[in-house]
Amino acid sequence: VAEPGEISDCDLIVSIGGDGTTLAAVRAASKVDRPVLGVACGSLGALTAVSAEGVSDALGRLHRRDWVPRPLPALIVARPGDAADLFAINDIAVVRAGGGQLRLAASVDGVLFGRVAGDGCIVSTPMGSSAYTIAAGGPLLAPGAVAFVLTPLPAHGGSCPPLVMGVESTLQLEAVGGHGGARLEVDGQVVDTEVGSMTIRFRPGVATLVSFDGQEPLLAGLRRRAIITDSPRIVADDANS
């Protein structure tokens, strides 16, 4: 095993694992503006470009400059008192940590959108919309969409639907945890157990993934992984045709 090195000394970061491993690599590589090649040990995910068996061919194509940069945006989170902003490639979640509802107020460009008492909310990039957001019943942003989305988690009454926002918008969240507390998660990692107020903005081109012509489209991958499935009646019709 090679000795640990400085990421800034590399021209390319190769992530071997799954989407979670690749996401961690993307976050690290974004700080030094290096592309990331995601290698899947298992089935291909949303962030991986090739399987383990395809690494040799992928590296050859990279050497020949036969690859396509896939820029990834991020969400930038500013909070009072923080020395530096947080950033998320996939999503930000403000969620209750135990018993008691989390009270949340969401405003867009200074205009109140909704106030809910419940489990919290998720704010995601287009890439992140295919993860926690879609699992929570939020919208899937198609490839090429330039937007970000707020998805409230289950609430106690009221009506506050998912909201898709333009990239020039600013989202303000005010959160108060219940007696069980709350937590702030960035790309699936707990970064704080104090939530409070925060401002979230969209920033394009924060990181770069390696992709190749002929790579499986995102929507096809979601169907292959059964994240998107057909109605049983349609499946039965196909079987009988």
E-only strand ranges, the chain? 13-17, 35-40, 50-51, 68-78, 86-88, 91-96, 102-108, 111-118, 120-124, 147-152, 163-166, 170-176, 182-186, 189-192, 196-211
* Residues ≥6 apart with Cβ < 8 Å to 172: 106, 107, 108, 110, 197, 198, 199, 200
3-state helix, strand, coil in the chain (%, to 5): 20, 40, 40
Of the candidates 9, 11, 19, 213, the residue annotated as catalytic is 19
71 DSSP β-pair partners: 208
**Token output for 40:** 């899947």
Catalytic site includes residue 19: yes
Contact between residue 26 and residue 47 where contact means Cβ atoms under 8 Å apart = yes
State which amino acid sits at residue 69: P
Active site members:
19
